[in-house]
Amino acid sequence: MKPLADKIRPSCMSEIVGQHHLVGEGKILNKIIETKQIPNMIFYGPPGVGKTTVANIIASVANKRFYKLNATNASVGDIKKIIDELDNLLSINGVLLYLDEIQNFNKKQQQSLLEYTENGQITLIASTTENPYFYIYNALLSRSSVFEFKPLNKNDIIKALKRGIDVLEKELKSTKILCEESILEYFAENSGGDLRKAINNLQLTIYTANRNSDGNIEVTMELAKECSGTKALNYDKLGDKHYDVLSAFQKSIRGSDPDAAIHYLARLIKAGDLISICRRLLVIAAEDIGVAYPSAISIVKACVDSAMQLGFPEARIPLAEAVIVLATAPKSNSAISAIDKALSDLDNLNVGEVPEDLKDAHYGGAQKLNRGLGYKYPHNYENHYVKQQYLPDNIKDALYYIPGNNKMENSAKAYMNFLKESSK
């Protein structure tokens, strides 16, 4: 049974669904086809969004010998075979190599292409589901243009599914395929933006559907759900999407949006990523809430400990509690700003020695070295405070902690001002 995805694969740019930013009228990949000046390109995006299809269309208009390899099972030997044929008369205009899943090639394998992509003997079109800036050798990356393919939206997928139904109806000739719009919407929603998955599910459903009294194939929602299985989630625990979701998770909490924060928590829970959730929540409590609500980190620690003890699925409850507490809490980044500025000064300034008055004086001979002689013990003074220099001479006027504008820090700021005024 030939996959329906292959039967309806577009043969020109105008048939492609989605990717309007790349293949729409007047867009870059259309212009490349019009000029037939094909550069080295890297197509980056999730599976089932048209990377291979676009590469095939470009290859069809290039006046070059076409080779196709998949990096999951190809080797340096396969590349050498292509290189050995570069002087062949059939390759007089050069070679166009489509290398799928290039992230599976190691550095040495990628380097084997460098000389030939640079001199133009090999024009490379590579595709990857992983961030190319993490997985592709820099020298090869610098010789290529990167194009990002986006997940397809529901309407794009439905348009392709309708094309698939038309193709199957023509094959079946007198038979009609009865499929309601709501079922197509279900296939689209269930696919997670992967057109190939949606089409495969449609094909399986149609081939297993019953015929009605008129002899037509009748697709039901019950059968569609049975054939589709679990909804696809565009998330890779070890890949680029992992960090995208974690980033959105923290930024939603920082932005005081509990609904978005809970959404991204749900994605992380679906991926079973308990450790990353717990670590990130503890970081957020200190980095983004900080001194504005110091008790937040204690609450989060209790929730995290509970989640670790419970495991999934129950862990979702204390995790959701921690997320809502953090998202609705007052925010302050004064703590991280203070420590980062202090660390930066250590890297960039000659901060000097610890003041003599503050140095350890709990040993014989310390006084002879002037250690601790001028130190004033704050508890001996009113309000347990006395003004004295604590920073090294070279940075004695440095200011690291700048209180945030929130109830807790405003109170602390007022108290510190009171101490300074009372000691005058």
Q: Which of 328, 363, 385 is the last residue of a domain?
A: 328
* Domain membership flag for residue 5: no
Mark whether 339 and 323 lie in a shared domain: no
Domain that holds residue 106: 19-148
Q: What is the pLDDT of residue 48?
A: 86
Mark whether 133 and 51 lie in a shared domain: yes
Dump the DSSP string for 235-255: --TTSHHHHHHHHHHHHHHHT
Q: What is the pLDDT of residue 232?
A: 54
Q: Which of 328, 355, 375 is the last residue of a domain?
A: 328
Mark whether 285 and 398 lie in a shared domain: no
Q: Which of 328, 357, 392 is the last residue of a domain?
A: 328
Decide: 341 and 400 in contact? Cβ < 8 Å.
Answer: yes
Q: φ and ψ at 104, to 5 degrees?
A: -85, -5
Q: What is the pLDDT of residue 239?
A: 53
Identify the CATH number of the domain in which residue 222 sits: 1.10.8.60
Q: What is the pLDDT of residue 244?
A: 86
- Collapsed DSSP state (helix, strand, coil) of residue 367: helix
Identify the CATH number of the domain in which residue 32 sits: 3.40.50.300
* Domain membership flag for residue 2: no
* Domain membership flag for residue 111: yes
What is the pTM (predicted TM-score) of this model? 0.64
- Give the whole-angstrom CA distance, residue 7 versus residue 5: 6
Mark whether 204 and 269 lie in a shared domain: no
Q: pLDDT of 208-267, one tens digit each?
A: 998 888 889 999 999 998 988 766 555 555 455 778 899 999 999 999 999 999 999 999
Identify the CATH number of the domain in which residue 372 sits: 1.10.3710.10
* Domain membership flag for residue 14: no
Identify the CATH number of the domain in which residue 303 sits: 1.20.272.10
Choose among 167, 159, 179, 267: nearest CA to 227.
179
Mark whether 134 and 43 lie in a shared domain: yes
Q: What is the pLDDT of residue 369?
A: 81
* Domain membership flag for residue 12: no
Q: How many domains does the chain fold into?
A: 4
Q: φ and ψ at 125, to 5 degrees?
A: -120, 115
Element housing 105 (H / E): none
* Domain membership flag for residue 235: no
C-alpha dihedral sign at 213, 215, 221, 227 = positive
Q: What is the pLDDT of residue 367?
A: 81
Question: Tokens for 268?
Answer: 């992380």
Q: What is the pLDDT of residue 107?
A: 85
- Give the whole-angstrom CA distance, residue 42 versus residue 318: 42
- Give the whole-angstrom CA distance, residue 26 versus residue 24: 6
Tens digit of pLDDT at every position of the chain (424 positions): 678 888 888 888 888 988 889 988 888 998 888 888 889 999 998 888 999 999 988 888 887 888 899 998 888 888 888 888 777 755 667 788 999 999 888 888 888 888 888 888 888 999 998 888 888 988 899 889 999 998 888 899 999 999 999 999 888 877 899 999 999 999 998 888 889 889 999 999 998 998 888 889 999 999 998 988 766 555 555 455 778 899 999 999 999 999 999 999 999 998 888 999 999 999 999 999 999 999 999 999 999 999 999 989 999 999 999 999 999 999 999 999 999 999 999 999 999 999 998 888 888 787 878 888 889 999 999 999 999 999 999 999 999 999 999 999 999 999 999 998 887 7
Neighbours of 216 (CB within 10 A): 15
